[in-house]
């Protein structure tokens, strides 16, 4: 399988807390991307990390990539209710996992 798999499947936290979700994959990759989807709508690109990068930041988002373990993590700091969404990792551009459903309670 070329797709990544996110973990946990669901995560519920309080506003202000940090949220961490993980992605594992099986094949070699050139890059890995994270996307967000609000309730059955189109996906929004969050961040792309290349295979030669170990960490990348964008605002409150921090993504790490460990190619030796074939895994990536997405950290959202100081979460807000508006961060409630499903988060997907994508490998080889096209292959998405089943996602982590994040619920941030106000």
Asked if 59 interacts with other proteins (CB under 8 A), we say: no
Asked if 12 interacts with other proteins (CB under 8 A), we say: no
Of 40, 24, 14, 1, residue with least CA distance to 74: 24
Nearer to other proteins, 19 or 32 (CB): 32
To other proteins, the closest distance from the beta carbon of 32 in angstroms equals 10
Place of tokens 């997907």: 88
Asked if 103 interacts with other proteins (CB under 8 A), we say: no
Asked if 43 interacts with other proteins (CB under 8 A), we say: yes
Asked if 30 interacts with other proteins (CB under 8 A), we say: yes
Residue 54 φ then ψ, to 5°: -105, -25
Residue 36 near residue 21, CB atoms below 8 Å: no
Asked if 3 interacts with other proteins (CB under 8 A), we say: yes
Binding test (CB under 8 A) with other proteins, winner from 13, 48, 61, 75: 48
Asked if 41 interacts with other proteins (CB under 8 A), we say: yes
Of 69, 81, 64, 67, residue with least CA distance to 20: 64
User: Cα(23)–Cα(99) distance, rounded to whole angstroms?
Assistant: 9
């Amino acid at each position: 399988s070329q797709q990544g798999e996110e973990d946990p499947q669901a995560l519920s936290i309080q506003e202000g807390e940090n949220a961490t979700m993980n992605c594992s994959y099986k094949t070699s990759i050139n890059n890995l991307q994270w996307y967000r989807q609000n309730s059955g709508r189109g996906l929004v690109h969050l961040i792309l990390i290349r295979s030669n990068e170990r960490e990348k930041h964008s605002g409150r988002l921090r993504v790490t990539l460990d190619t030796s373990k074939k895994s990536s993590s997405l950290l959202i700091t100081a979460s807000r209710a508006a961060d409630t969404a499903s988060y997907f990792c994508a490998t080889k551009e096209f292959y998405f996992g089943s996602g982590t459903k994040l619920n941030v309670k106000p």
